[in-house]
Structure 1
Amino acid sequence: MSEAVRVLVVDDEALVRHALRAFLADDDRVTLVGEATDGSEVVEICEAMHPDVVLMDIKMREVGGVEATRRVLEWNPHCRVIALTTFTTEWRALEVLRAGACGYLVKNSTPEQIIDAIVAAHAGDRVVSPEVQERFVRAAIETGSSQITDAPALSDRERQIIEMIAKGLSNAEIAQELHYAEGTVKADIRRINNEWNVENRLQIVLRATELGIISL
């Protein structure tokens, strides 16, 4: 079995930290290596504990999650930061994603969704909660910020994968649903990225919506 992903939790609410601590302890894919109550503590704890992934609250008393994300990535550009917050507005998500976070989850996500996101982020994926992803897509369509082009031919499996990405499923969940190896799913997603000239799951969903392949 591969080594567990080292996780640092940053949140100023003790109840949230307690809940995360409890369910992270129940999954051997991850291990909690530290906690911080404010963004001002993050770099010091990162230097001591060397996390692979940081779960980052956005609104904190002294140093908020956006600035703390920048500090983490200055410390180690290879560390992965996932925002975990109550905010669902797209501008909040854009703010922290532009600061370098690779993911944005809302706090009503299930423990399984959060852990799957941690594992996926560590593997190099970008993870966004479905409800926030939908807001991105709707905002982009309403503002007409993208140009619609003809879609290259897709296989039935690729269409299924796109539909599951839109529902927020991880690569592992998609592989389980389709009864394929996770590596096969990743290869299909890479092909879609290359064919559509997009970089991540959110852009796949946006393009698929523009082309009428899926609807939200």
Structure 2
Amino acid sequence: MAEVVRVLVVDDEALVRHALRAFLAADERVTLVGEASDGTEVVDVCRATSPDVVLMDIKMTNVGGVEATRHVLEWNPQCRVVALTTFTTEWRALEVLRAGACGYLVKNSTPTQIVDAIVAAHAGDRVVSPEVQERFVRAAIEAGESRATGDPTLSDRERQIIELIANGLSNAEIADVLHYAESTVKADIRHINHLWGVENRLQIVLRATELGLISL
């Protein structure tokens, strides 16, 4: 018989946790070992419950899902994190995947799809919701079509910002690392978008990869 996957649910909405608790209990492939209502609790609960997979919300008060994902993997690099969120934008997915998550699901997924993703993540696979995969593909195509000729000159700070974007950091986190105002970081990102003819973070990362500035 296949190993039962130990799951920790992290979500700041009690109703969501209740729904997840109900259908996880109905599937013999998984067992719910714990819950956390905020990213600040997640490592303590992980230590207490030793989950195989953490089902992680993205937008939470205090510590969000991207930062919480990093904390989980610092605690145990073998633990698998699957994001479960309402966001379908590709740059949100890129942020948490770059932080180390191995899956990205939207909350309109069916119970079976979510459990299938948990089991697949535990087996070492990467799972992304179809609508988010479609956005990745579209962004890649648009980045190729709008790519500027040559490599417009970037400042050292802009190159640092691109690397930090690729590592999944938010604007506020980038500002903190570089010791600049968040408004300065936003202005630099707008300048990068203008230079490269791109519109969002994912396209910045794809373009930087094409130019060999970073590697994914």
TM-score for the superposition, normalised by structure 2: 0.66
Question: Structure 1 residue 2: deviation in Å?
Answer: 1.9
Deviations 1:160-184 (A, max 9, x none): xxxxxxxxxxxxxxxxxxxxxxxxx
| Aligned equivalent of 1:104 | 104
| Aligned equivalent of 1:26 | 26
Larger Rg: 2
Work out the CA distance in 2 between the residues paired with 1:10 and 1:129.
Answer: 19
- Which sections of structure 1, spanning at least 5 residues, go unmatched? 146-216
Question: Structure 1 residue 76: deviation in Å?
Answer: 0.3
Secondary structure at the aligned position of 1:105 is classed as strand
RMSD: 0.8
Work out the CA distance in 1 between the residues paired with 2:16 and 2:48.
Answer: 22
Deviations 1:46-80 (A, max 9, x none): 00100000000000001000000000000000000
Q: How many residues align?
A: 145
* Matching residue's letter, 1:34: G
* Matching residue's letter, 2:98: R
* Matching residue's letter, 1:54: V
* Matching residue's letter, 2:73: L
| Aligned equivalent of 1:118 | 118
**In the alignment, is residue 76 of structure 1 matched against residue 76 of structure 2?**
yes
Work out the CA distance in 1 between the residues paired with 2:140 and 2:80.
Answer: 26
Identical counterparts, % of pairs: 86
* Matching residue's letter, 2:5: V
* Matching residue's letter, 1:84: L
Work out the CA distance in 1 between the residues paired with 2:82 and 2:34.
Answer: 15
Work out the CA distance in 1 between the residues paired with 2:48 and 2:13.
Answer: 22
| Aligned equivalent of 2:95 | 95
**In the alignment, is residue 15 of structure 1 matched against residue 15 of structure 2?**
yes
Work out the CA distance in 2 between the residues paired with 1:48 and 1:135.
Answer: 37
Work out the CA distance in 1 between the residues paired with 2:46 and 2:61.
Answer: 19
* Matching residue's letter, 1:85: T
Secondary structure at the aligned position of 2:40 is classed as helix
Could you list the structure 1 runs, at least 4 aligned residues long, displaced by more than 3 angstroms after superposition.
none
* Matching residue's letter, 1:13: E
Question: Structure 1 residue 128: deviation in Å?
Answer: 0.1
